[in-house]
Structure 1
Amino acid sequence: MDPATLIGVIGALVFIVVANVMEGGNPMSLMLIPPILLVVGGTIMISIAGGTLADAKLAVRGLKRAFTGSAKNASDLVPVLVSLSEKARREGLLALEDALADVDEPFLSRGLTLAIDGTDPEEVRDILEAEVVAVHAEAKQSAKFFNSAGAYAPTIGIIGTVMGLVHVLENLAQPEELGHLIAGAFVATLWGVMSANVFFLPVGARIGRLGELETGRMELIIEGIAALQAGSNPRVVAQRLQSLLPADQREPEAA
């Protein structure tokens, strides 16, 4: 689990509360149920309206992944793929069948199975790349849901503020209540802007980033399997795979 999102969101809320207290405010004065209900509930409903129910289900999975998921470094796969390449070059592709039990990467296992079965290399690449496209599309759609929510939330907050100001104008005959009512009206705008920039947009960015890292790892596997099927020299395979890694993940000699 990579706690970056959890740390970031909680840390931002802590700073907001501390700043509010330092200015002499009372954090509990911001915890008004009506504006929170309007902003959070209204934003989620409008985001659902902009897509399909299937998109909303993807967003739920994406939300869970944003807070509890992590992306493994693609560099971990390089020694595995090089070792498999050495074995295939020395003993043939069929010899990799015994190594499948030790492979804990489902995508790599599926690719190796296709290669061992004698599937044409181009067809193997097409099948695996289609899965990469599907994973990328799911992450993109899930991130889009939260990015859209981040765009809607401030406007929903303004709607709440306008509603509150209408209520203020209805009570002009009670001047002692105006200060409290006006303050309450602007709480909706606060929650709209805060929810967008502290929650919705960061979650959308996190889902998109995890999707990028996962597809990058899958693309590395595709290149490794292609080299393995071609019978490439393991040293060349290692150099090729290292060149696909971000600079900070490469071996020093490969960098």
Structure 2
Amino acid sequence: MDILSLLGIILAFAAILGGNLLEGGALSSLFNGPAALIVIGGTLAATILQTSWPLLKRAFIQARWVFVPPYVSLEDGIGKVIDWSVKARKQGLLGLEGLAEKEPERFARKGLQLLVDGAETETIRSIMEVDLDSREQRDLESARVYEAMGGYSPTIGIIGAVMGLIQVMTNLEDPQSLGSGIATAFVATIYGVALANLLFFPVANKLRGIVRERTRYEDMMIDGIIAVAEGENPKSIELRLRGFLQ
């Protein structure tokens, strides 16, 4: 669990609600069904319109990374590579076959299998870099979905505000309806701006950060696997890979 993400969301909405209370407002004044329907529904509709179903599904699934990011440890990765190097120097590359079959990480398992199969180092690098680039682009596209939602929601909020004002202007002779119309107008704007800046943009940036960290880890694994294939000394491999920690 990423405690910082949870704390960030709690603080963001606590600041909004707490500020409203300190100014003498009531919490109920910030809850408006029509405004929420306009902003949330409109934002989702625009996002669905521009996004393919596989990408939309992937983006919604990857939203959990904000709170439960995939485990990435450069230190553990370096330890793995060093173990492979030591075993390869003692038993040859075929000695890694058992490790390849048991390796839980798909990317590392693929590299080990290429090593065991005797692929050339350039072939190994080419295959693994294609895998890395393809995965990285797909993950970044998921982040762009939330960035798009952050772009749409303030505009949809303005639409909600205009609709509320239209309601006010068409019912000037009915004072009882003026309050609800004005409330919808202002609350819709708050919803649009708040969702963009407190949720959608931060989620997009968080996902980008996770993708960058995974990419750095996999870049390191590629260099490590190539070094093992070339028979480098384990100590030299460790010194090289520790450069990724800086």
TM-score interval, normalised by the smaller of the two chains: over 0.9
Matching of residues 207-218 of structure 1 within 5 Å: 207-218=207-218
Query: Structure 1 77/35 Cα, relative in aligned 2: closer, same or farther at 3 Å?
Result: same
SS at match of 2:173: coil
Cα offsets for 1:79-137 (capped at 9, x unmatched): 22112112212321111123335533221122111101111111111111111112111
Moved more, 170-179 or 53-62: 170-179
Moved more, 72-81 or 168-177: 168-177
Moved more, 82-91 or 203-212: 82-91
Asked whether the 8 Å contact 2:164–2:183 carries over to 1, the reply is no
Q: Return the alpha-carbon distance in structure 2 between the equivalents of residues 73 and 123 of structure 1.
A: 26
Asked whether the 8 Å contact 2:65–2:207 carries over to 1, the reply is yes
1:253 paired residue number: none
* TM-score of the superposed pair, with normalisation by structure 1: 0.91
Q: Return the alpha-carbon distance in structure 1 between the equivalents of residues 37 and 198 of structure 2.
A: 17
Asked whether the 8 Å contact 2:9–2:198 carries over to 1, the reply is yes
Matching of residues 183-194 of structure 1 within 5 Å: 183-194=183-194
Matching of residues 12-161 of structure 1 within 5 Å: 12-100=12-100, 103-161=103-161
Asked whether the 8 Å contact 1:85–1:234 carries over to 2, the reply is yes
SS at match of 2:162: helix
Q: Return the alpha-carbon distance in structure 2 between the equivalents of residues 62 and 149 of structure 1.
A: 15
Asked whether the 8 Å contact 1:71–1:210 carries over to 2, the reply is no
Asked whether the 8 Å contact 1:2–1:70 carries over to 2, the reply is no
Q: Which runs of 5+ in 2 are unaligned?
A: none
Instruction: In structure 2, give the amino acid aligned to 1:185.
Output: A
The alignment's C-alpha RMSD in Å is 1.6
Instruction: In structure 1, give the amino acid aligned to 2:181.
Output: L
Q: Return the alpha-carbon distance in structure 2 between the equivalents of residues 58 and 129 of structure 1.
A: 22
Paired residue total: 246
SS at match of 1:25: coil
* Displacement of 1:51: 2.5
Moved more, 75-84 or 231-240: 75-84
Asked whether the 8 Å contact 1:135–1:211 carries over to 2, the reply is no
Asked whether the 8 Å contact 2:82–2:238 carries over to 1, the reply is yes
2:232 paired residue number: 232
Q: Return the alpha-carbon distance in structure 2 between the equivalents of residues 40 and 3 of structure 1.
A: 26
Cα offsets for 1:173-201 (capped at 9, x unmatched): 13454344323311100000011111111
SS at match of 1:68: coil
Q: Which runs of 5+ in 1 are unaligned?
A: 248-255
Query: Identity of aligned pairs, percent?
Result: 37
Instruction: In structure 1, give the amino acid aligned to 2:194.
Output: M
Instruction: In structure 1, give the amino acid aligned to 2:109.
Output: S
Asked whether the 8 Å contact 2:171–2:178 carries over to 1, the reply is yes
SS at match of 2:67: helix
* TM-score of the superposed pair, with normalisation by structure 2: 0.94
1:170 paired residue number: 170
Cα offsets for 1:44-97 (capped at 9, x unmatched): 110121222222112112213323324422122112211211221232111112
Moved more, 64-73 or 131-140: 64-73
Asked whether the 8 Å contact 2:160–2:184 carries over to 1, the reply is no
1:9 paired residue number: 9
